[in-house]
Amino acid sequence: MKMVLLGRGKTGVLVADVARHRGHEVRVLGAADNPAAKALTKQLLSDVEVAIDFTAPDAVLGNIRRCVETRTPLVVGTTGWYFEIPAIREMVEKADASLLYAANFSIGVNLFFDIVRSAAPALRYGYSGHITEKHHVHKKDAPSGTAVAIRNVIKDAAGHEPEIASVREGDIVGTHILSLDSPADTITLIHEAKSRRGFAEGAVRAAEWLPGHKGFFDFKDVFREM
């Protein structure tokens, strides 16, 4: 497949590496190559089968709009824009375009969501919940998109919205902790990412799946199908 990767950050570099290893042709555009999404012209995207965005919250919305306008399937790994989801969903559906996003493309994290969903009913039986997320000092958004996704899973399953504490230190790839506490005991669920490669592999698999599927998708709802 012909892919364009938006973003030259640590995860973006891995995404390009994984995609090429899986036999795809990848063109990479960094921030300097694509200011305000101006590089995403119809000509540039004319033979692109799918785009992948690992940029920043201040850049991603422009990239989304250009890909929707040109009906270029887009996988979004950038977080910090979820307040716009209702409007973006409507735009994608009206344009008959294709967009798949995720707070986290790691298979392990998406299995962790399932575990959290199973544990969430504890909040109906006298337990209190608290989420802690830890990331490297360069992460711009807080709380993390994954932590928000965990909170949403709990809200859907148990009707509660636990507080989130964010920690930024060192070069932590990503750690998410859910604590369920009662006077009798404590349940602690932890997912700790060892490297960014799991994110990259999931994003490339999503990019392989998306062409041919129209609509607005969340990775956690379709990852098993992939």
Q: 107-192 is classed in which CATH architecture? A: 2-Layer Sandwich (3.30)
What distance in Å separates the CA atoms of residue 182 and residue 188, rounded to the nearest whole number?
12
pLDDT digits (tens, 9 = 90+) for 7-20: 999 899 999 999 99
Angle subtended at Cα 154 by Cα 148 and Cα 156, rounded to the nearest 5 degrees? 100
pLDDT confidence tier of residue 188, bands split at 50, 70 and 90: very high
pTM of model > 0.85: no
pLDDT confidence tier of residue 127, bands split at 50, 70 and 90: very high
Task: Give the orientation angle of helix 57-69 with respect to helix 85-95, to 10 degrees.
Answer: 20
Looking at CATH, the fold of the domain delimited by 2-104+197-222 is given as Rossmann fold (3.40.50)
User: Catalytic pick from 10, 139, 155, 160?
Assistant: 139
User: Catalytic pick from 135, 176, 191, 220?
Assistant: 135
Whether 85 has a pLDDT exceeding 90, the answer reads: yes
The mean predicted confidence, pLDDT, of the chain is 95
Active-site residue, 191 included: no
Q: Where in the chain are the domains? A: 2-104+197-222, 107-192
Asked whether this chain's domains 2-104+197-222 and 107-192 adopt the same fold, the reply is no
Active-site residue, 139 included: yes
Angle subtended at Cα 140 by Cα 27 and Cα 108, rounded to the nearest 5 degrees? 70
pLDDT of res. 141 = 85
Inter-residue long-range contacts of 58-66, CB under 8 Å, 24+ positions, other chains counted: 59/6, 59/31, 59/34, 61/88, 62/36, 62/37, 63/6, 63/34, 63/37, 64/88, 64/99, 65/37, 65/91, 66/37, 66/40
Mean pLDDT in residue range 144-166: 96
Of the candidates 177, 48, 159, the one whose C-alpha atom is nearest the C-alpha of residue 112 is 177
